[in-house]
Amino acid sequence: MRALVLLNHLSSVVGAWTTCELLLGLQRRGHDVWVCPVDGVELLEQDEVRFRAVHLPEFEDVHEVREGLPGLSAAVVEGDRIDVVFIRTSPGKDERLEQHQAALYMLQRYREGGGLVLNEPAALRKAATKLYLSHFPSWTVPPTIVTNAVETARAFLQKIDGPGVIKPLGGTQGRDVYFLEGHTDRNLATLVQNLVSQGPVMLQAYLPTAPEGDIRILLVDGRPLMVDGQVAAIRRVPPPGEFRSNLHLGAQAEAVHLSDEVRAVLQAVGPMLREDRLFLVGLDIVGRHVVEVNVFAPGGLGAANKLYGVDFVEGVIAAMEEHLRRHQRSGQGREGTVTD
């Protein structure tokens, strides 16, 4: 398999454990791997897409990938040289929003021309905002509103009669996510006014079980990623004094057993993820409610691997291989060239 992995930029592998392990895992299974920054996608005449990418050498471990990848020289890779494009960008960490939007548009043209892209570019554009949660069955998400107005936010908090969480519709890793005591919180107006510079804000009810942490579950094609009978899911418990459960903020990863309630949520939302062709998704669940849908470079595989002694990375790559087999059976195999 000739795989091209799309990143924000080559140096974005620093700190990106899951992405590094996916690159190494592809190589371990004998695949030819190219890595392309988001500004390396080009659209030429007649909707021909090509990439300015680097070829992945045989690195031994994550450290070598982080140290060596940024210094490699790029080559021009014709689109028909690639069997599958795997998108691992993170627009929320990059100020070049228009660059990311353009890359997704060009990759959609590539997809329409017969190329295989995971996740589906059109679905990524749809799910790039937290408003994607509004497509889920109402019982699977916490009470939620989206607004620009302080008075609307205050009325919502008064209605739920409890604390809430305010966040921008974009962003990642808990950035600009704040806890509100309730409708009398003295910071409410300031937070709304500051965050609306990024667009409308989302307010969610702060769920009673939130102090116990959330559950990050990785899904492939709308189904929980499972290897050797174990689901790729971890409980993320926030550290003292922090309400956010992000691992990079110090949350502790623990093994977790999925309750019947959580499994019911997965069964309810999985078909939509599958229909939208979202190949790899990370859901964050508190109690029985989905609070975040991570479609751009979802992480958590590393912590899951360590907790359960299972290679979930291999499970993701095996699923990619199956997608390619189905794609090729449809008569859309590709051949092409690479130039310096």
Domain ranges of the chain: 2-127+320-339, 130-135+209-309, 146-205
- pLDDT above 90 coverage of the chain, percent: 76
CATH class name, domain 146-205: alpha beta
Q: Which two tokens stand for residue 318?
A: 């095996």
Is 324 a residue whose pLDDT tops 80?
A: yes
CA dihedral 149, 153, 156, 161 (to 10 degrees): -160
Question: What's the rounded mean pLDDT across residues 261-275?
Answer: 97
**pLDDT per residue as tens digits for the range 34-88:** 999 999 999 999 889 999 999 999 998 999 999 999 999 999 999 999 999 999 9
Question: What's the rounded mean pLDDT across residues 257-275?
Answer: 96
Q: What is the pTM of this model?
A: 0.91
Is 339 a residue whose pLDDT tops 80?
A: no
**pLDDT per residue as tens digits for the range 163-172:** 999 999 887 7
Q: Mention every residue, 6+ apart, whose C-beta is less than 8 A from residue 66.
A: 13, 14, 15, 20
Is 333 a residue whose pLDDT tops 60?
A: no
Q: Is 225 exposed, middle or buried (0-12, 13-18, 19+ CB in 10 A)?
A: buried
Is 190 a residue whose pLDDT tops 60?
A: yes
Cβ–Cβ < 8 Å for 263, 219: no
Is 204 a residue whose pLDDT tops 90?
A: yes
User: Distance between alpha carbon 233 and the CA centroid of its chain, in Å?
Assistant: 15
**What pLDDT, on the 0 to 100 scale, is given for residue 336?**
46
224, β-bridge pairs: 219
Supply the DSSP string of 258-319, one letter for each residue: PPHHHHHHHHHHHHHHHHTT--EEEEEEETTEEEEEE-SS---HHHHHHHHT--HHHHHHHH
Fold of 130-135+209-309: D-amino Acid Aminotransferase; Chain A, domain 1 (3.30.470)
173 pLDDT band, cuts 50/70/90, is low
CATH node for 2-127+320-339: 3.40.50.20
Reference 66, options 17, 16, 13, 23; nearest CA is 13
**pLDDT per residue as tens digits for the range 214-262:** 999 999 999 999 999 999 999 999 888 778 777 777 788 899 999 999 9
Question: What's the rounded mean pLDDT across residues 301-306?
Answer: 90
Q: Look over the chain and give the mean of its residue pLDDT values, rounded to a whole number.
A: 92
Cβ–Cβ < 8 Å for 19, 65: no
**pLDDT per residue as tens digits for the range 116-142:** 999 999 999 999 999 999 999 999 999
Kind of pairing between the strands at 201-205 and 144-147:
antiparallel
- pLDDT above 70 coverage of the chain, percent: 96
**What pLDDT, on the 0 to 100 scale, is given for residue 227?**
96
Query: CA dist 81 to 6, 47, 53, 105, 194, Å?
Result: 15, 15, 12, 20, 46
